[in-house]
Amino acid sequence: MNASYLELKGIRKMFGDTPVLNNVDLSIREGELVTLLGPSGCGKSTLLRCIAGLTELDGGRIMLGKQDLANLPPRSREVGMVFQSYALFPNLTVTENIEYGLKMRGVPKKERLRRCEELLALVDLEDKRGTYPQHLSGGQQQRVALARSLAVQPKVLLLDEPLSALDAKIRKNLRTEIREIQKRLMMTTIFVTHDQEEALTLSDRICIMNKGHIVQDGTPEALYSTPRTEFVARFMGSYNVLTRTDAIRLFGDGIGMAESFAIRPESVRLLSEMESASSIGGKRIVEGKIDSITILGNVIRYSVDAAGVLLTIDILNDGRSLRMEESGTIRLALDPSQLLQLEKEGA
């Protein structure tokens, strides 16, 4: 299980003179769900299309099992893909869409229909057999697209922002459903998204991409708790990114050699007037002025001006939180052990 199943080595792709993928290496184990996460234009969709064979490589190798995919046409790669726009065939019914791949492979009718029923059950669309795609909701269409690509039992499933065109509630449900199906089938999957919450909830592993590179990869926990660069810190959450000067102003000397630092918004505590400094050993107390307060539902987000540094602080909205007003003064407790040192971009 530990050996890599899909292996990308030194993938390069140029669009004109601009490099879109710059020596990308990635290896994926069998049955793993890996997310490519990054802002638009970072090359994540291009990487996916290269694996599928829809975009030609300018350099590098793609190994799937023991097979080199580079020179195979898309139809021989045994790779399934789900598109953001579903790309269902409008002239075919749900059943005909799902069995399309099997038909192209010459599977007999009886076997096709049996397989089709299985998949309809899997995506919970048994009552939509004879419906045409345009009469289905977006979520249903995407489930048909998923079933269609799973029908031919691909070795790898590629999902290109499959949930981006759906509204929030359906997106959350479908995301859970995709993860369940993926686990049940032990399907090796690459999921492309620009939504960090989506990536955190469904991945075994996340690769953060920027400007044609994978800048950091790891489990969702690892990426969230220890971003290595400023880009990752900003992308993964609402980390406070501090320059060295800012960090010294808040934490004093002895914070390490890095040029920039990050601290999570939920690791800073606001102190009530009654709490004495002695009750919170090991932390630095800093005075600050509240700049703005935003209620995000279960979290209250404060923007605090502390010693000339603007900090974002998240406090759980549990009803016990302090009543505070904008432009009031407040004391903050900062924990030096929570301060992360960031590497330079591209290092």
Partner 1 sequence: MMTRLKASWTHRSLMFLLMIYLLIPLLATGLYAFAKDWQTTVLPESWTLEWVGEMFQDLRFLDALWTSLYLCLISVALSLVVMLPAVFVITVYLPRWETFMKGLVVLPYAVPGVVAAVGLIRTYSSGPIDIAGTAYILIGAYFVVILPYMYQGIRNSLLTVSAVELLNAAELLGARRMRAFVTVILPNIWPGVIISTLLSFSVLFGEFVLTNMLVGGHIQTIQVYLYQRVGESGHLASAIAISYFVFILAMSTILMKLGRKINGEVR
Binding positions for partner 1, rule: CB under 8 A? 52-54, 73-75, 77, 79-81, 83, 85, 87-92, 100-101, 104-105, 132, 134, 148-149, 152
Shorter beta-carbon distance to partner 1: residue 131 or 338: 131
Answer yes or no: are the C-beta atoms of 44 and 196 closer than 8 Å: no
Show the DSSP H helices in 186-298 as ranges: 196-202, 220-225, 230-236, 244-251
Instruction: Quote the least distance from Cβ 88 to partner 1, whole Å.
Output: 8
| Own/partner pairs, 135-139, CB within 8 angstroms, 24+ separation | 136/94, 137/170, 138/86, 138/165, 138/166, 138/167, 138/170, 139/166, 139/170, 139/173, 139/174
Shortest distance in whole angstroms from residue 106 CB to partner 1 = 9
Supply the Cα-derived Rg of the chain in whole angstroms: 24
In the complex, least distance from residue 225 CB atom to partner 1, rounded to whole angstroms: 37
**CA dist list (Å): 9 to 20, 25, 26, 68:** 15, 5, 7, 11
* Long-range contacts, stretch 240-249, CB < 8 angstroms, 24+ apart: 240/264, 240/265, 240/268, 240/311, 240/312, 241/342, 242/309, 246/308, 246/309, 247/339, 249/307, 249/308, 249/309
Residue 237 vs residues 130, 146, 186, 227: alpha-carbon distances, Å:
44, 30, 30, 10
Between 90 and 281, CB nearer to partner 1: 90
> Cβ 286 to partner 1, closest distance in Å?
54
Instruction: Provide, rounded to whole angstroms, the least separation between the CB of residue 336 and partner 1.
Output: 52
Least distance from C-beta 180 to partner 1, angstroms? Answer: 23
Contact 245, 309 (CB under 8 A): no
Phi first, then psi: give them for residue 42, nearest 5 degrees. Answer: -85, -5
- Token pair 């489990």: residue: 219
Q: Is 316 helix (H, G, I), strand (E, B) or coil?
A: strand
| Least distance between partner 1 and beta carbon 247 (Å) | 48
Q: What whole-number distance in Å separates Cα of residue 303 and Cα of residue 90?
A: 50
Least distance (Å) between residue 222 CB and partner 1: 33
